[in-house]
Amino acid sequence: MSAFDAIFIGAGQAGPFLAARMASTGRKVALIERKYLGGTCVNAGCMPTKALVASARTAHVARRASDYGVVIPGEIGIDMKTVQGRAEKVTLDARKGLETWFSGLDSMSVIYGQGKFEDPNTVVVNGARLTAPQIFINVGARPSIPDYPGLASVPYLTSTSIIHLTVVPRHLVVIGGSYIGLEFAQMYRRFGAEVTVVERGSHLASREDEDVSDAIADIIHAEGIAVQTEATGLSFRKTSDDIEVTTGIGTIVASHVLIATGRQPNTDDLGLEAAGVETDGKGFIIVDDSLSTNVTGIWALGDCNGHGAFTHTSYNDFEIVAANLLDGADHKLSDRIPAYALYIDPPLGRVGMTERQARASGRPILVSTRPMSRVGRAVEKGETQGFMKLVADAETRQILGAAILGIEGDEAIHGIIDAMNARTPYPTLQWSVPIHPTVSELVPTLIGDLRSAS
């Protein structure tokens, strides 16, 4: 039995930072990771995929060079091995940086292996028993694979495996028309693949308001990506050379299939029942406002607790727990305002409630929209797809939510995120003086156009 002050299971974007902070104060900590440091973000999520998105955008801009008076002789080609190698290097450099950092912390032990609870204070890894009064679970999530007829017999891709492709698919069929699926669909279309998105719902990115979903669909269609919505009865069959994907609409012949139908927590092999830790029906660990589980001394951070499947929300989990345990603060998970981005091009930046959610709350709301074609920065860059949208409470004058679908929307949304976190009434933000020419300069105008929603 090896005794520690704290044990961390999983090395994603929350636990390791808390472990490092504890170790820097002299606490003896164990960080258990079964595969790679950095979690999904570093190894199979944000970093490699956004590196791929950058390569895809470069190809797209190069093909449009003549629109800007730039002449590039010949066709624009894709060296997929170099594209993939660049993304892999981004991952390896980040992972190496974490290894170097942690190796310099004398009181931190990094242990590679599968950790499993023996009881509420004991974790077994590689046959060794570790004990600590505080245990933090940060095991993340993985792609969820539906039990479609025939799927098990075909060589499908997931968001984890597709980043290792070194060829451009002839025809990529993406199952799932939400955030992950749309990013890969546009990316591989720009690499030169024929792409079809198959979505069982009536809209792409159905979590968004219908006008935002429709605008996303317009962007996807404009790039030559085929879309099938309300696709039911999916089945798969491997032929000698292809994969046949049958929907209620017909059969699609694909060279590659990407399953992008959501993610599930990596909690099924942790022995949580031995520790008495409760999960919900989907396997997410149930936590309270301080990210504590139902078992005293055990916390769950990041994707595995079901409170935001993003790097920034995972990191904020670390910030909440660190502040409360080490700094005597009282921060709450419920104080967090949800914000995220969809990294198609142009991107969608989102914060707070959708209009649909605001209406369902029963409060009197104001809504304003502005097309990106009215934004000088977008016009100057020749990228005017999308629009801005703001939702506010008519009585409290608080901003309830916003969406910026357009060039630099993932950056411009932060002015609204900051205002919402500061509880700044929208009339105050309306009188800010943004820099010209930027996307953000339209925010005061957007606020000035707020009108009662009928």
Give catalytic residues, as residue numbers: 436
User: What stretch of H or E contains 311?
Assistant: helix 311-326
Tell me the pairing of strands 194-198 and 226-228.
parallel
83 contacts: CB under 8 Å, gap ≥ 6 = 52, 55, 191
Question: Between the CA of residue 251 and those of 92, 221, 235, 237, what are the distances in Å?
Answer: 40, 20, 9, 10
Sheet of strand 116-119, all strands in order from the earlier edge strand to the far edge: 2-3, 128-131, 122-125, 116-119
Q: Count CB neighbours of 86 within 10 A.
A: 15
- Residue 246, Cβ density class (10 Å: 0-12 exposed, 13-18 middle, ≥19 buried): middle
Q: Give the pair of three-digit tokens for residue 215.
A: 């605008």
Tell me the pairing of strands 2-3 and 128-131.
parallel
How far is CA 131 from its chain centroid? 33
Per DSSP, the chain holds a count of helices (H) and strands (E) of: 13, 24
Question: Between the CA of residue 339 and those of 107, 209, 420, what are the distances in Å?
Answer: 35, 15, 11
Question: Between the CA of residue 11 and those of 260, 318, 330, 440, what are the distances in Å?
Answer: 24, 12, 25, 36
